[in-house]
Amino acid sequence: MKNQPSVIEKVTGGLPAQIGTTLLAGAGASITSLAALLPVLTSALAALRQQERVEATLAAITSDLEQHLSALQRLTDEQYHLLTESVAATFQTNSPKKLAYLRSAIRNSLAIENLVPQESAILARIVRDISAEEADFVVKHFQYKYIHVTDSTSEREVYTLCVPSRSNDSLTVAGLESLGVLEFGLATRGDGNLLRFSVMTAKLIFLLTTSDPARQTS
C-alpha cells in the first residue's frame, strides 16, 4: 500500500512546508559543513552523540509543528523570526536540557502574542544564548523582586534572593545580567547592587515553559 503523505507534505508551497523542509534538511547540512571543515572532529563520539540529539530534537519539533498548521499560517513576522532563530540555535546546542528548552520556545512561539520587532529580536538572542542552568534559575526564582549577590549574613527581606558571591549561582547571575534578563534594581550601601528581572522575563518564561500553545492558537 502506498504511504500516505504527511501533514506537512500536503501543505505544499506554504509556510508549514517550508519550515518542515528546513528542519529536516538542516541537521544534514550542519553535519556536512562540519565534516568538510573538521573531518577528524566529526569522527569523535561526542560529535555522533550531538548529531543524534539534534536529529531527535528536529523530529520532535516537526511533529509539534504538524499539530498546529493553522497557527503556522497565521504567524506574524515577529513570531516567524523568533521561531526560525530558535531552530537555528538547535544546531549549536549540545545540552539535552537546552535542546528541550529550545523545543518549547519553538512550539510556544506560535502562541506568543503582540510582539513588536524589538521584542522579537531581544527574545531570539536570549533564547539562543541562555544556558540551561540560567533558564532553570529564571524559572525557579522569578517570584523574587530582587537578586543580591552578597556574602553578608544580615537578615534580608523575604522578596530578596541572596546569592553567595563565590557560588555557581553567582556565575549564573552574571550570565543573566549580560543577557539583559537581570538589570539594575536598587543601590545598596557598599554591598553591591540589587538586581531585578527585566520586563522581558515573563515572555521568556512563557516561551521556555508553557506546554500547550493550542489553548491560544486553536
Q: State the amino acid at position 24 in one-letter form.
A: L
Q: Which among 165, 100, 109, 174 has a CA at the least distance from the CA of 137?
A: 174
What is the domain extent for residue 171?
A: 134-202
In whole angstroms, give the CA distance from residue 181 to residue 176: 5
pLDDT at 118: 96
d(CA 50, CA 94): 6
Residue 70 lies in a domain: no
Strand, helix or coil for residue 41: helix
CB of 86 closer than 8 Å to CB of 128: yes
Q: What is the DSSP letter of 152?
A: -
Q: Is 192 left (phi over 0), alpha (psi -120 to 50) or beta?
A: left
**Residue 45 lies inside a defined structural domain of this protein:** no
Compute mean pLDDT per 10 residues along the chain, 218 residues long, and list them. Answer: 46 46 54 56 66 84 86 90 90 89 94 93 96 96 94 78 93 96 83 89 92 41
Cell matching residue 93: 546546542
Residue 171 maps to a domain: yes
Residue 139: inside a domain = yes
- Let me know if residue 187 belongs to a domain: yes
What's the rounded Cα separation, in Å, for the pair 164 and 153? 10
Any domain includes 60: no
Residue 53 included in any domain: no
The pLDDT value recorded for residue 7 is 41
94 vs 192: CA distance, rounded Å: 34
CA distances from 9 to 6, 13, 62, 64 (A): 5, 9, 12, 15
Asked whether residue 152 is domain-assigned, the answer is: yes
Structural domain count of the chain: 1
DSSP tag of 44: S
Predicted structure pTM score: 0.77
CA–CA distance, 2 with 26 (Å, rounded to integer): 27
Collapsing DSSP to helix, strand or coil, 196 comes out as: strand
Length of the chain: 218
Residue 11 is predicted with a pLDDT of 34
